[in-house]
Amino acid sequence: MSFLEFVPDWLLAHAPAFLMALPLIMAAITAILPNKRVAWASTFIVTAILTVTAFTIALYNAEVGTTIYKMGGWAPPHGISLVIDALNAPVVVLIALMSLITVIYALPATVAEIKPNKRAPFYAAFLLCTAGLLGMTVTGDAFNVFVFLEVSSISTYVLVAMGAARDRRALSAAYNYLILGSIGATFFVIGVGFLYMETGTLNMADMARILADLDGGSRVAKIAFGFIVIGLGLKLAMFPLHTWLPGAYAYSPTPVAAFLASTATKAALYLLLRFTFFVFDPSYSYVADVLMFVLVGLGVVGMIFASLQAIFQTDVRRMLAYSSVAQVGYMLLGIGIATTASVAAGYLHLLNHAIIKGGLFLAIGAMWYRFGITRTEDFRGLGKTMPLTMGAFTVSGLSLIGVPFTAGFVSKVNLTFAAADSGWWWAVAVIMVTSILALIYIGRLLLVAYFQSPPVVNGEVVVRNEAPIAMLLPMWTLALASVFVGIWSDTMVGMAIRAAELLLGAG
Amino acid sequence: MTPQIALALLLIIPLLAAVLIPLVGKSQNVREGVTFVAGLALLATVVYLCIDVASGGRPELRLGSFAGRFNFALKLEPLGATFAAIASSLWIVNSLFTLGYMRGNKEKNQTRFFACVAIAIAASMGIAASANLITLFIFYEALTISTFPLVTHKGDAKAKRGGTIYALILMGTSLALLLPAIIGTYVIAGTTDFVVGGIFPPGTSLFATSILLFLFAFGIGKAALMPTHPWLPNAMVAPTPVSALLHAVAVVKAGVFTMLKVITYTFGPALTLATPSSTWLAWIAAISIVLASVIALRQDNLKARLAYSTVSQLSYITLGAMLAVSMGILGGGLQIVMHAWGKITLFMCAGAIYTIAHRTNISQLDGLGRTMPWVFGAFLVGALSIIGIPPLGGSWPKFMLMMGAVDSGKAILIVALIASSILNIIYLVPIAVRGFMKAPANPEDDAHIAEVRKKHRWVIIPPVITAIGSLVLFFFAGGILDFLQPILPAGGL
């Protein structure tokens, strides 16, 4: 690895801690920065450093394997450890990269959506959210997960509520999210509490070892698992615990919607993977039951039901939000089938969907920025008035449907094969049908955008008015990433398989 | 030159033309020169490849892979070589016609037009030479996209509406039905390569293959099996050369070619025959044949009548494929060839009538044959070939399909074939008869047309060429059948 030779040793050694400490400290400093431009610049620099660090961690992980960082030199299980392994390294990269992309995009977006005196707090909350997400991804300590979960959640409530400057409904959406998010976090911490009762430790690797010794543990462990699954289910918008999500995505400021759609639910899904397969084990009968009946059942129902709901939405962002709930269903299906191939496919879809949905939300945000567009019928003639933005939307949209040469195709095909290999033929049929539903809800937008003429406003036909470069660059980065993954998928598939093998063992 | 290089040239030549045409777009003659040079070069390449294929060669070329498990590859076999031969030879004839038509009608954006046609030809070549379903799917979509600007060429509201329906049905069916069918095939069979005799492992559930067959039959929207046909009449808003080359040859033939290919190389005739849904689909095709003929009968617009006639004639091929006996499949393959030459003649005649006389409806054609004898003569020959009257090329496939219906124990389908032939006579022959026999409604107009006719010889010569071709092909049907024979599994059916 030639790149790693340029990285100073102290960064390699302390990268996991650096990853969460830097945004935490900078969030506090950014909050009191007087100048909004400086606030943006500092956030940009922080996220850029985070991205480089995350890539370093991922490369280093690929080279040396799992690393455990001891916070303050205290050895686990007594001290808090930060773990970087094949499962969370890609998620760390995803979160850091998405934060950088969002910040670039936020430069023009916040000017339109956030009042000047709120911009520094906005960036501070954004950095806190990033710190929380990164923290809950890298930490090896169950209670620490809860702490970072709350850090990210509370800052997210603030970020969502900041959409009120644009649409007052953001306040009720944020409140709704706050109530449900707090319930979710409470359930999660109750679950962790029960686990502590059962195992006497908070370190996740230690918990896993003790639970295995106890052969899955007593009823307390079962209850703990139930609480954790439901708590995380709320956070990851598992159907029918998704009701907070459409409002939060639709009324938050556009950069926040894109960031949340591609990171927040994904980090929660990562935790679900971590707890179901790493702390607990699918060999315990109660875990197997939950996988088979709860995750698969709710996943499949969510895929169908949320896709149908997406078709009937008139607000594009609500439509994309319901689509997210449906896509979470794909991931849950992959996790629930619980073979190495299926978990790899679900994990791959987690990464791919983040790229896809991020791109879509960035594009729709740019459309709002220029024309105030949120509803489906407003898409008329966008192929002419914003060709580049609509182009990015189209590429990401096709990827969501799962057209060949796109990321969505790769993960859906992998999931289809995993389901077929396990003999789950009805699941194959469901994947096909929901892909057709995705074709309908994306296709009708493309139809309106490309085959109808631009609207007439005040007696004049709307003319071309493309989004600024700071918005086009992020959305096209994601759109092209989606195509890149669709053609040269080996790296991504390899990462997903390594992650699944870490959880389930090879084959 | 090795066959592999020739295979690459199939794509490179038309794509190169598509790049060069906009570059030299300023000078019309140079631009059309590029098209003709490319057309001749492509035809030479195809002929070279056909000779190789006839002698047993199956040239292969791997272009790469994607998504870890899908090969993007070309491999030519007799059916594909036949399709490539039709598309490339008719591209040249049609380019002559296009030149006369576009200049005669002073159409705008001619450079874009010629470039898009070249891309569409490249996509057709890709479809013809695809080594597996995934590759075929990619070129199939490329063909839809590249022909969309051609359909909406006029740019008015009607053209946009037609284009919307065109894109909606073709993209919609392919993404919603064809793609799941391909993935489903891959899941069950573990490959999507085209292999003589089919790829499904023995013991595959017939319920699964039934569903897949349905998905394929309606997912291949370009085959215009009812009820996926409305795109075809709607595409008639395009300039006539597009209708002639694409909606009588390249696009629709890509559809039925895919259908035949799926039946012979993916399912295999034996499995198709065993699959219950093939019988239902044969009936749907038979209903399509008759129903589309009846609708054609009621059209006064010449192009609309030809469009419905195309819908009807395409279903012959689908029917032949679904019969899954050697006579049916070979008859379907032959029908691709014969119908292409016959129908392009009819469309070019319609275009010639429009260019010279500015008439679009059949009721306006009284006596026009006396002023334009060559055009109406060519039309009559083309029509007789479509109907299937010897000694014209179109008679063989009709005959073979009837034999196929008997062979597969569905002799009652002959009724549909005969009914359709009678309907064909009723809706095609009177057009030519009107032109020759009836007195002109307005002799002064016709006298004027006779004068301007001389300026437009490039819209008259091409249909005459293809009409002669239809006649000549009657005598070469045996050769084409021998060429196609290897697509069936050895040992007969």
What whole-number distance in Å separates Cα of residue A477 and Cα of residue A392?
9
Cα B109 to Cα B50: distance, rounded to the nearest angstrom:
35
How confident is the model at residue B488, as a pLDDT? 83
Q: Which domain holds residue A503?
A: 293-507
pLDDT number for residue B368: 80
User: A441 CB near a chain B CB, below 8 Å?
Assistant: no
Please tell me the distance in Å from A486's CA to the nearest CA on chain B. 6
pLDDT of residue A179: 93
Does the N-terminal peptide bond of residue A240 adopt cis geometry, omega within 30 degrees of 0?
yes
Please provide the average confidence, as pLDDT, over all residues in chain B: 86
| Amino acid (1-letter code) at residue B162 | G
Asked if A447 is an interface residue toward chain B (Cβ–Cβ < 8 A), one would say yes
For residue B68, give how far its alpha carbon lies from the nearest alpha carbon of chain A (Å): 6
Q: Per residue in B87-112, pLDDT tens?
A: 999 888 888 888 888 877 777 778 88
Residue A151's Cα: distance from chain center in Å?
16
For residues B438-457, average pLDDT: 77
Contact by Cβ (8 Å): A207, A145: no
Residues 358-417 of A with CB under 8 A from B: 401-405, 409-410, 413, 416-417
Residue among A426, A433, A488 with most chain B CBs within 10 A, to mutate: A488
What is the reported pLDDT for B491?
54
Task: Write the residue in A416, A447, A487 that is nearest to B168 by C-beta.
Answer: A447
B138 to chain A, any CB pair closer than 8 A? The answer is yes
Cross-chain Cβ contact B183/A432 below 8 Å: yes
Q: Is pLDDT of B22 > 80? A: yes
Write the pLDDT tens digit of every residue in A334-380: 999 888 889 999 999 999 999 999 999 999 999 988 888 888 888 88
Q: Is residue A366 part of a domain?
A: yes
Give mean pLDDT, residues A432-444: 89
- A175 touching B, CB under 8 A? no
Is A8 a domain residue? Answer: no
Helices and strands (DSSP H and E) totals, chain B: 22, 2
Q: Pick from B68, B163, B180: which is nearest to A490 by CB? A: B68
For residues B270 and B490, the answer to whether their CB atoms sit within 8 Å is: no
**Euclidean distance between CA atoms A177 and A246, whole angstroms:** 10
Cβ–Cβ contact B68 with A under 8 A? yes
Which residues partner with B143 through β-bridges?
none
Residue B492 pLDDT:
53
pLDDT band at A103 (very low <50, low <70, confident <90, very high): very high
Of B66 and B400, the one with more pLDDT: B400
Q: Which residue has the tokens 């709860």?
A: A294
A200 interfacial to chain B (CB closer than 8 Å): no
Q: Cβ contact (<8 Å) for A436 and B176?
A: yes
Q: How far apart are CA A469 and CA A477, in angstroms?
A: 12
- Flag whether the pTM goes above 0.90: no
Distance from CA of B463 to the nearest CA of A (A): 34
State how many domains chain A has: 1
Q: Retrieve residue B428's tokens.
A: 């095609």
What is the rounded CA–CA span in Å between residue B105 and residue B114?
Answer: 15
Prediction ipTM score: 0.77
How far is A409 from chain B, CA to nearest CA, in Å? 8
Q: Kind of pairing, strands A460-461 and B60-66?
A: unpaired
Residue with tokens 């791919």: A352
CA angle A366, A372, A378 (to 5 degrees): 100
- Nearest C-alpha neighbor of A254 from the set A479, A467, A38: A467
What is the four-CA torsion angle of B38, B43, B46, B48, rounded to 10 degrees? -110
The verdict on residue A404 lying in a domain is yes
DSSP code for A465:
-
Residue A167 resides in a domain: no
B166 in contact with A at a CB cutoff of 8 Å?
no
Q: Which comes out higher in pLDDT, residue A152 or A114?
A: A152
In a domain, A398, yes or no: yes
For chain B, state the CA radius of gyration: 21
CA distance to partner chain B, nearest, from residue A427 (Å):
12
Are the C-beta atoms of B132 and B182 separated by less than 8 Å?
A: no
Q: Are A333 and A349 in contact (CB under 8 A)?
A: no
All residues of chain A having their beta carbon less than 8 Å from the beta carbon of residue B184 are: 428, 432
Give the C-alpha distances (Å, rounded to integers) separating A180 from A242, A258, A272, A429, B108. 9, 20, 18, 33, 61
Q: What's the gap between Cα A446 and its chain centre?
A: 25
Domains of chain B, residue spans: 3-487
| pLDDT of the residue at B363 | 82
pLDDT in the model for residue A379:
86
**Measured distance CA(B396)–CA(A355) in Å, rounded:** 55
pLDDT given for residue B58 in this prediction = 86
State whether B179 and A404 contact (CB < 8 Å).
yes
CA distance A421 to chain B (A): 8
User: Among all residues of chain A, which has the CA nearest to that of B163?
Assistant: A451
Tens digits of residue pLDDT in A472-505: 999 999 999 999 988 888 888 888 888 898 888 7
- Min Cα distance A399 → chain B (Å) is 12
Q: Are B128 and B84 a contacting pair, CB within 8 Å? A: yes
Q: What value does the mean pLDDT take over residues A231-256?
A: 90
Contact partners, residue A60, CB within 8 Å, separation at least 6:
A1, A4, A12, A15, A67, A84
* B279-328 pLDDT, tens digit each: 899 999 999 999 999 999 888 888 889 889 999 999 999 998 898 888 88
A490 interaction partners in chain B (CB closer than 8 Å): 68
Interface test with A, best of B182, B183, B186 (most A CBs within 10 A): B183
B418 touches chain A (CB under 8 A): no
- The per-residue pLDDT for A102 is 93
- The answer on pLDDT for A276 being more than 80 is yes
Find, in chain A, the residue whose alpha carbon is nearest to that of B160. Answer: A451
Mutate to test the interface with B, among A487, A492, A493, A497 (most CBs of B within 10 A): A487
Q: What is the mean pLDDT of residues B322-336?
A: 88
- C-alpha A121/C-alpha A114 separation (Å) is 10
For residue A506, pLDDT beyond 70: no
Q: Give whole-number Cα distances, B36 to A71, A475, B118, B167, in Å.
A: 74, 42, 11, 29
| Angle, CA of B402, B78 and B143, to the nearest 5° | 95
Tell me the sheet residues that pair with B132: B193
Residue A465 belongs to a domain: yes
Name the residue with tokens 């030639």.
A2
Contacts of A221 (CB under 8 A, 6+ apart): A194, A195, A198, A199, A211, A214, A280
Cα distances (Å, whole numbers) of residue B379 to A143, B9, B462, B493: 84, 35, 12, 38
Calpha distance A145→A207 (Å, rounded): 14
How far is the first Cα of chain A from the last one, in angstroms, to the nearest whole number? 28
Q: Between these two residues, A25 and B492, which has the higher pLDDT value? A: A25
For residue B361, the model assigns a pLDDT of 85
Which pLDDT score, from 0 to 100, does residue A1 have? 52
| Span A135-185, pLDDT tens digits | 999 998 999 999 999 999 999 999 999 888 888 888 999 999 999 999 999
Between chain A and chain B, the number of residue pairs with CB atoms below 8 A apart is 58
CA nearest neighbour of B304 among B238, B371, B382? B238
Q: Which two tokens stand for residue A413?
A: 């095909």
3-state SS track over B180-232: HHHHHHHHHHCCCECCCCCCCCCCCCHHHHHHHHHHHHHHCHHHCCCCCCCHH
Count CA atoms within 13 Å of residue B75 on its CB side.
Answer: 20
